[in-house]
Structure 1
Amino acid sequence: MSIDKKLYIAGIGVISPVGFNTQMTVTAVEAGVSGYVLSDFDSHTGEPLKLALISDDIFNKIEIETGLELDQGNRFNMRHDRITIMATIALQEACSKLKSDKAVPFIMAHSEYPYDKTDLSSLTDNLADHVSPWIDSKLTRSLSSGRPASIEAIDMIFNYLYDSEHDYFIVGGSDSYIDEELIQKLDAEDRLLYMNNADGFVAGEGAAYLVLTKKPELALIKNNQAISIAPPGISEEQGHLNSQLPYKGEGLYLAFKGALKSPIKQKISTIYSSLNGEHHWAKELAVAQMRNNPFLSEQVEIKHPAECYGDIGAATSTMLIALSAHDLWNTKTIDTHLVYSSSDGPKRGVLIVEKVNVK
């Protein structure tokens, strides 16, 4: 694969606890608005957990205003229902400016934390019904590495689909931690945030999708500029959260190194990170920064917007890329951003985001 290849953003669709579309979410994150709330879920100590939720009123409003009628399957699962609604709304926004009426290759990011889907409706079929003609189950694949899954998906596009006949590709995920069994599991591991546990994360929910193209003339253009994405660096951390091996931070360092093989216009000015509030993740970032220091500006800024909308699992990577893109569009300087995500498991994904002039 040539390191000179680029993909360009042709569509963005987002829903989060701080915004019901892309612009609202971007504005809220830039303003530092927090979507954290004390929830009805209690920790094992009896204290309420902090979560970042999209309110039920919003879900009801969406269904009423859009006339959204989903196949609910033969039984109800709150997490599955919320994931399906969020995915549908965000994908409809992402595809709204697509200059095509053909089905598009779609690689879905899924959670590392599966749930029983017996007798539940098919997420893919619902999306094919409500995001037609662009979503087709025959052109849909999925990856289940959680936070970095969409960066993995972009890597797949560069390696396997870039030279295909398709002009567009869709990547992204919809995810929610709002599931009693999952909340109990994470709380038992003391990983969730509550009053007397500062070393925890806020479980959130959201969806973020990108339409990508290899043709800059098909990209979203703002101020005569498009947003480019370079081939990612993908690696694995042997000492991940679920491993007994020593945690050395090698996986993220190598993923940084892989992404930085692509030529960059400027040293990295901003890093968009999947840091979620757990102290664990700081070590690998420090290692990656130290060992890739020649590529970073002296005043490199680390942005971790989970402090606004919580940990959104499989929606993380595309949300970070979307925020990076709008950040670049809104600045007059020539900046280079690095976006990375780390899974609870071994997978680490990194890519470079820049803006390019389009005539």
Structure 2
Amino acid sequence: MSATPLVVSRVGMVTGVGLDAPASCAAIRGAIDNFQQTSFRDRRGQWIMGCEVPLEYPWRGEKKLLMMAARAIGECLDGFDQAACESTPLLLCLAEADRPGRSVPDDARFLAALQDELGLSFHPQSAVIVQGHVSAAVALHRGRQIIDAAAATQVIVAASDSLLAGAALADCEARDRLLTSENSDGFIPGEGAAALLLEPLRAQPWGQLVCRGIGFAVEKAHIDSEEPLRADGLTSAIKQSLQEAACDESILDFKIIDASGGQYVFKEATLAFGRIDRTKRAEFDVWHPADCIGEVGATVGLAMIAVLKAACEKAYARGNNVLLHLGNDDGKRASMVFSWLPAGG
């Protein structure tokens, strides 16, 4: 049985390569990055490379997360008035509660401060989701539930995160996840925010990006385990998302993944898709926006969706049916199937 389709009608985005969605997506399309030396050093005393968001003031920590989130949401909701926001729940994605270097000590207070910064109040069903990379899929699933239950006619999903914090970098370096002078199999840390407006599918005279299916699973052989990787969890999540979308893998034209550096995610993605792929293809592109914006934590899923929407609208996507998948270090996996419905389609 197919799930209720969900339309991504608006986006907002703040990254190290652009302070709005058009600029960020154009830079990512052009493979432009903003990787520079940070003020942090690795264990050998060498400068760590990173991708910092260049805001107008040198904010750090919780304040910067707040300002990035406000900018992305403001772009997404441009033209909305107070009444419209009061009927719209905000699902805010932040870093995992136990992640070292997390700069938000109180999620509820942060959500309240964000509303104050925007000068807006959102629907009482607004909530904070703290599930790392998979937060985007969790938020879309929860947003679909809210719309299905007729609690709201639209939902805004947002995320703000940064890996540019001393404790976070030290933890990642200790686990050999960070790109340093001693480790070439790691990621470049980044930061950013993104926002999406979700609405039910209706007939429109313009093209629409539709989320058709979402799947979740857990991988026992996660990156910090010592078990042999078979990609069982990601395979299961992909199958579930295809089942929800009422289709098989043959419709997929390309995929976007959350790989930010290191061999593990690429190996897992290859294994998982190889286990479900039964279609002969001349090519099958794999996009990974983190190549340009760095490892942006909980923001990555929404950034991937924003990139996809821009590609579809500007007709440089490699097809109309796309697989997106996400994974956390603790084994949580999520998969989403999106389709672009052209104008009049």
TM-score w.r.t. the length of structure 2 is 0.89
Corresponding residue for 2:117?
130
What does 1:36-185 correspond to in 2, within 5 Å? 36-55=35-54, 58-60=55-57, 78-98=60-80, 100-112=84-96, 113=99, 115=102, 117=104, 122-133=109-120, 135-136=122-123, 138-159=124-145, 161-185=147-171
Q: Distance in 2 between matches of 1:149 and 1:119?
A: 18
Provide structure 1 residue ranges, at least 5 long, that are not aligned to the other structure.
62-76
Do the aligned partners of residues 334 and 168 (structure 1) sit closer, same or farther apart at CA in structure 2, a change above 3 Å counting?
Answer: same
Q: Distance in 1 between matches of 2:38 and 2:300?
A: 22
Corresponding residue for 1:74?
none
Of 16-25 and 287-296, the range deviating more from structure 2: 287-296
Of 231-240 and 256-265, the range deviating more from structure 2: 256-265
What does 1:327-338 correspond to in 2, within 5 Å? 327-331=311-315, 335-338=320-323
Q: Distance in 1 between matches of 2:90 and 2:338?
A: 21
Listed one character per residue, the Cα deviations across residues 180-239 of structure 1 (whole Å, up to 9, x for unaligned) are 12111212222211244210101100001111001435x8x7xx2111111201111112
Q: Distance in 2 between matches of 1:249 and 1:169?
A: 32
TM-score w.r.t. the length of structure 1 is 0.86
Conserved? CA contact 2:213–2:242, under 8 Å: no
State the identity as a percent: 20
In structure 2, give the amino acid aligned to 1:20. Answer: L
Q: Match of 1:323, SS?
A: helix
Deviation at 1:130, TM superposition (A): 3.1
Q: Distance in 1 between matches of 2:279 and 2:200?
A: 26
Listed one character per residue, the Cα deviations across residues 311-354 of structure 1 (whole Å, up to 9, x for unaligned) are 10000101001101111122278521111111111211111111
Matched, 1:236 2:233: no
Q: Match of 1:232, SS?
A: strand
Q: 1:285 aligns with which of 260, 263, 269?
A: 269
Q: Distance in 2 between matches of 1:249 and 1:216?
A: 36
In structure 2, give the amino acid aligned to 1:27. Answer: A
In structure 2, give the amino acid aligned to 1:135. Answer: F
In structure 2, give the amino acid aligned to 1:44. Answer: R
In structure 2, give the amino acid aligned to 1:199. Answer: D
Q: Distance in 1 between matches of 2:62 and 2:225?
A: 28
Do the aligned partners of residues 296 and 315 (structure 1) sit closer, same or farther apart at CA in structure 2, a change above 3 Å counting?
Answer: farther
Corresponding residue for 2:235?
253
Do the aligned partners of residues 302 and 97 (structure 1) sit closer, same or farther apart at CA in structure 2, a change above 3 Å counting?
Answer: farther
Q: 1:300 aligns with which of 284, 288, 297?
A: 284
Deviation at 1:165, TM superposition (A): 3.6
In structure 2, give the amino acid aligned to 1:149. Answer: S
Deviation at 1:269, TM superposition (A): 1.5
Q: Distance in 1 between matches of 2:295 and 2:115?
A: 27
Q: Distance in 2 between matches of 1:144 and 1:296?
A: 39
Conserved? CA contact 1:78–1:178, under 8 Å: no
Root-mean-square deviation (CA), in Å? 2.6
Deviation at 1:139, TM superposition (A): 2.2
Conserved? CA contact 1:238–1:246, under 8 Å: no
Q: Distance in 2 between matches of 1:95 and 1:39?
A: 32
Provide structure 2 residue ranges, at least 5 long, that are not aligned to the other structure.
none
Which 4+ residue blocks in structure 1 deviate beyond 6 angstroms? none
Conserved? CA contact 2:201–2:210, under 8 Å: no
Q: 2:198 aligns with which of 208, 212, 219?
A: 212
Of 256-265 and 102-111, the range deviating more from structure 2: 256-265
What does 1:27-42 correspond to in 2, within 5 Å? 27-42=26-41
Count of aligned positions:
336
Do the aligned partners of residues 95 and 264 (structure 1) sit closer, same or farther apart at CA in structure 2, a change above 3 Å counting?
Answer: farther
Deviation at 1:93, TM superposition (A): 0.7
Deviation at 1:44, TM superposition (A): 0.7
Q: Match of 1:294, SS?
A: coil
In structure 1, give the amino acid aligned to 2:238. Answer: F
Listed one character per residue, the Cα deviations across residues 10-56 of structure 1 (whole Å, up to 9, x for unaligned) are 2101000000000000100001101111222111122211111113x
Of 3-12 and 264-273, the range deviating more from structure 2: 264-273
Q: Match of 2:217, SS?
A: strand
Do the aligned partners of residues 241 and 128 (structure 1) sit closer, same or farther apart at CA in structure 2, a change above 3 Å counting?
Answer: same
In structure 2, give the amino acid aligned to 1:263. Answer: A
